[in-house]
């Protein structure tokens, strides 16, 4: 287990879960209405970085309108994002430019 990745992803996972709970507190109903598999959303919300499905994460982030939070996390933890290829899921060229300026 990559403890650094889990610890760095945990605050984002909590934020995503809180946003999803505001939309619909019932995970099962939320997943059913948005076409998600519950266990894949649980991986995200429990900070299980190694089990993340990037496509599901991207769709989940868009569904709950958390693109800004995701971009902020990628900028804050570029090495973890790159290792798990999370940095490529947001196709924003300005994000890559901003990250390059931080290095």
pLDDT score at 91: 56
Query: Could you give the CA distance from residue 54 to residue 22 in angstroms, rounded to a whole number?
Result: 23
Q: Evaluate whether 71 touches 63 at the Cβ level (below 8 Å).
A: no
pLDDT score at 98: 46
Residue 86 tokens read as 């999370």
What is the pLDDT tens value at each position of the chain, 103 positions in all? 688 889 999 999 999 999 999 999 999 999 999 999 999 999 999 999 889 999 999 999 999 999 999 999 999 999 999 999 888 876 554 444 444 544 4
Question: In the chain, helix, strand, coil percent, each to 5?
Answer: 75, 0, 25
Half-sphere exposure of residue 73: CA atoms within 13 angstroms, side-chain side: 26
pLDDT score at 94: 41
pLDDT score at 90: 64
Question: Residues near 100 by Cβ (< 8 Å), separated by ≥ 6?
Answer: none
pTM: 0.82
Residues 88, 29, 9, 74, Cα dihedral to 10°: 30
pLDDT score at 97: 45
């Amino acid at each position: 287990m990559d403890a650094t990745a889990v610890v760095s992803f945990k605050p984002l996972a909590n934020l995503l879960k809180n946003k999803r709970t505001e939309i619909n507190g019932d995970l099962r109903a939320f997943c059913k209405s948005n076409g998600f598999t519950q266990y894949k959303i649980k991986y995200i919300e429990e900070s299980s970085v190694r089990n993340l499905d990037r496509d599901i994460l991207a769709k989940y982030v868009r569904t709950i309108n958390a693109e800004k939070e995701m971009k902020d996390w990628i900028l804050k933890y570029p090495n973890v994002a790159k290792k798990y290829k999370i940095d490529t899921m947001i196709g924003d060229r300005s994000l890559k430019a901003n990250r390059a300026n931080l290095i």
